[in-house]
Amino acid sequence: MSATPNRLALISTRVTEEQSYLEQRSALAYDYVRWFERQGWMVIPVPTSTGAVGPYLDLAGVGLVVLTGGNNVDPALYGGPGRVSQVYPERDRVEYGLIEGALERGIPVWGVCRGLHTINVFFGGSLTQRIEGHVAQDHELVSDHELLGGATCNSFHDQAVRGEDLAPDLRAFAHSPDGLIEALYHPTEPVAAVQWHPERQERAYDSRLLATFLDGRLQT
């Protein structure tokens, strides 16, 4: 599917570290690029090291911001206990900037896995630091949404959002059988997220769910 006007998707990148010498890198898995291109989007990665996200958001044709998975959200942002590995404050800074800038410009924001965590913390929620049984596992989705009821999804995370962690302004619309929030949205802003990885599975509901969100029908 070819990209059309206003079909540029800004996609955040994860931090990886070269082990043989000291160097941090911004990385984007091929699967994200391929999946969003199949949805008709041209992908523009946003480096974690950038000093300003505004110029990216102001590119002509930007119609979507995607917050990707990988790494962990800094517990300091929500008063979480203890220390967590794979924390990079510069990534939190860039993704917060993308959310803030997108809201100012009316650009939809879509979160994937860690992206759901970032969105929840941005709006005043918290995270459960460690859960079991959600790495490289498929499970059923518990949801009243017509696209998700009875569906299954993949799972690749050890941090999570439980009901008590959910930001006051957000609404959950899918859960795992053990009660973790699997999908959420903002009722008045163009913001939504899923805990699973659409780009790692071939399931028709993912494309339809994203389209529903972008048409403004997810919040109704």
Alpha carbon distances (Å) from 8 to 23, 36, 118, 125, 180: 29, 10, 22, 29, 32
Residue of 117, 157, 175, 197 marked active site: 197
Q: CB under 8 Å to 131, separation ≥6 — which residues?
A: 157, 158, 159, 160, 180
Residues in the chain: 220
Residue of 113, 117, 157, 182 marked active site: 113
Residues 87/5, Cβ–Cβ less than 8 Å: no
Distance in angstroms (rounded) separating the CA atoms of residues 74 and 9: 25
Confirm whether 100 is a catalytic residue: no
Residue 85: Cβ-neighbour burial (10 angstroms; 0-12, 13-18, 19+): exposed
Confirm whether 153 is a catalytic residue: no
Confirm whether 199 is a catalytic residue: yes
Residue of 117, 153, 175, 199 marked active site: 199
Distance in angstroms (rounded) separating the CA atoms of residues 183 and 213: 12
DSSP of 139-208: EE-B--STTTTT-EEEEE-SSB--GGGS-TT-EEEEE-TTS-EEEEE-SSSSEEEESS-GGGS--HHHHH
Residues marked active site are found at 113, 197, 199
